[in-house]
Structure 1
């Protein structure tokens, strides 16, 4: 079920302030359906290259927006695979950590830290998406 923020995003209006990370992917990528399959993300817009690959793809998960952008060396934007790792972990709060992690794994993610309950009141797992980005799937317990 869509919330008011995701409806606003679809209509081209962002709730302010908003935080929209830009994740770099390798040049030449044509399929980013992982995010739809793993997280139920909705692709809002796509800007393609002449060869059918993705230049920019804009997604929303609920009321949260993020962008995928092909590598741009001139701006220092390189994908995690190109850099040999990432310095960012994206936290995604969900209702059911177990089901989202299973869904992400089925869509092509690698589990780097299995679901675990922590004494600080969170259930968390960490996955790595097919482009090398780390996601911490979590819920308050």
Structure 2
């Protein structure tokens, strides 16, 4: 395996309008746009942005059989989790920018505070704030209590 500065795993999003998505991700998630290929106004066959230390590619839907956007009203089966300092603040920011709430902020038995939105393009984003380190034995107890309907 060659050594490069490339991440081990990278991913690409496809949207009906990558330009609109880039605007949303900047406002809602604090994304920083790195560059955008735009051969014509409103056309984005490729762009790249960062959220924190994560590099993400994005493009418009194009070339039949090559890149498909999530159908309108649909939702991606995967969830992207962003580690944040303040879950409530990140959730509020994403909602103010046009995200739809899926799960409100709440403390989880595994030591995180989380919330989740659906973006206008069908992707799900979870915000995760570290609250405490939970040792494996305690995590197992909490998970069992949670699954049996008990609290943390």
**TM-score relative to the length of structure 2:** 0.73
Larger radius of gyration: 2
Go from structure 1 to structure 2 and tell me whether the alpha carbon gap of 1:82 and 1:105 turns closer, same or farther (over 3 Å shift).
closer
The match for 1:90 among 76, 80, 83 is 80
Shift of 1:70: 1.3
The match for 1:46 among 23, 36, 40 is 36
Distance 2:58 2:18 in 1: 10
Runs of 4+ in 1 over 4 A off after TM superposition: none
* Aligned pairs, number: 126
Cross-structure match for 2:19: 30
Contact 1:19 1:65 in 2 (8 A): no
Contact 2:73 2:122 in 1 (8 A): no
Distance 1:57 1:99 in 2: 27
Report the secondary structure of 2:9's partner residue: coil
Q: How big is the alpha-carbon RMSD for the aligned residues of Structure 1 and Structure 2?
A: 2.0
Q: Note the residue ranges of structure 1 that are not aligned, 5 or more in a row.
A: 1-13
Q: Note the residue ranges of structure 2 that are not aligned, 5 or more in a row.
A: 132-152
Report the secondary structure of 1:81's partner residue: coil
**TM-score relative to the length of structure 1:** 0.79
Distance 1:134 1:54 in 2: 22
Flag the structure with more relative contact order, 1 or 2, with Cα contacts below 8 A and sequence separation at least 6. Answer: 1
Contact 1:80 1:132 in 2 (8 A): yes
